[in-house]
Amino acid sequence: MDIKGTDNMSRPSYVFIDTKALYHNLLVVKQHVKNKKVIAMVKCNAYGCGVDAVVNTLAPYVDGFGVACIEEAIKVQNICNTANCILFQGIFSEKEFKIAYARNLQIAIHQERELAWLLNNPSANKISIWIKVNTGMHRLGFQLDEIPGVMTKLNACPWVKDIKIMTHLACADNDLDNRNQSQVDKFNSLVGSYHKIDTSIANSAAILSNPDAQGDIVRAGIMLYGVSPFNEKTGKDLGLLPVMHFKSRLTTIYHYPANIDIGYGATWHSDEPCIIGIVPVGYGDGYPRNVINSYVWIREQRVPVVGRVSMDMLTVDLTNCKNASLDDEVELWGGNIPVEEVSHTADTIAYELLTRISSRVCRK
């Protein structure tokens, strides 16, 4: 067996966040929604892409940032103290209203308990409220017949500044699903009785596929990060650019004879002599362990991942990549290997891969 190795001072795996691609994707959003307001969804550390970089890039160009909790809103406002933040998952305890008032946060309410907390906590600072209505997703939201009573109470509340109404489509990623139109029809029938009230329906999938399901304010999420919300398409197919580029380097190359097995469980066998490369990325970094027939990009070509992915490394078959050398750059996903492709080989979705990059992976 012939072996060569390197002695690098630091682990060469990293994530590069392309903020120019992020801005490009925002322009694509705006092309689809014309003059409607755009909320940039930055929950879960901006879908794993880093809330600092995303907020700094988008703050001058969007109408607000969508988050899941108070802690995320505080991070956004620490980056941009003038940012409008909307708590789209609502409030988790009554005491959080005081923080929301002090920080001028906007709150989505979706249940009677939140409404009671709001009405029982007067404030000198008026607050903007988003009513989430359940039109068919059956996750969060007041029922349709509850909305008139909710509206009456909010309109009578002196510390409510303004009210918006929103819903969420359960099947927006399948534009042929009839349930989308059913939800839109229910929503439009509801809001038609209220004048001069802003509405919001569309997430990324609806922004791209259904101009009639957008409302006055859209909530752009995954498409901002260059990823398609549709199973059968990639971001590139939709004119989007990848924001997250997950990369590493070849740190070891082995030349093996025929009839060898690779990795835990000996799940990959070579009948011929082969060249195996080691990439210091594994499931401990966020690369999925259960990929099947996945590829990385080395020397301008696709190279197969072979054997099981380990916690700290994976193995690739360099037999047909004759010019591969130590320290060659390896793209796990990004401009050449779409993250959507990797997610399909792992039987999951790109959202999960973006958000589970571990803290030990450095960012550039």
Catalytic sites, residue numbers:
43, 264
Between strands 14-17 and 37-41, the pairing is: unpaired
Using CA atoms in the order 322, 325, 329, 333, what is the torsion angle rounded to 10 degrees?
40
What CA–CA distance (Å, rounded) separates 23 from 110? 32
What CA–CA distance (Å, rounded) separates 51 from 66? 11
Coil, strand or helix: which one is 333? strand
Query: Tokens 């879960």 appear where?
Result: 44
Check: CB of residue 173 under 8 Å from CB of residue 229.
Answer: yes
Secondary structure (DSSP) of 307-325: S---SS-EEEE-TT-TT--
What CA–CA distance (Å, rounded) separates 68 from 345? 29
What CA–CA distance (Å, rounded) separates 91 from 232? 36
What CA–CA distance (Å, rounded) separates 78 from 86? 15
Check: CB of residue 160 under 8 Å from CB of residue 126.
Answer: yes
**Residue 297 CA to its chain's centroid (Å):** 23
Between strands 85-87 and 64-67, the pairing is: parallel
Coil, strand or helix: which one is 108? strand
Query: Tokens 């909010």 appear where?
Result: 154
Taking each helix axis as running N to C, give the angle between helix 147-155 and helix 112-119, from 0 to 180 degrees, rounded to the nearest 10: 10
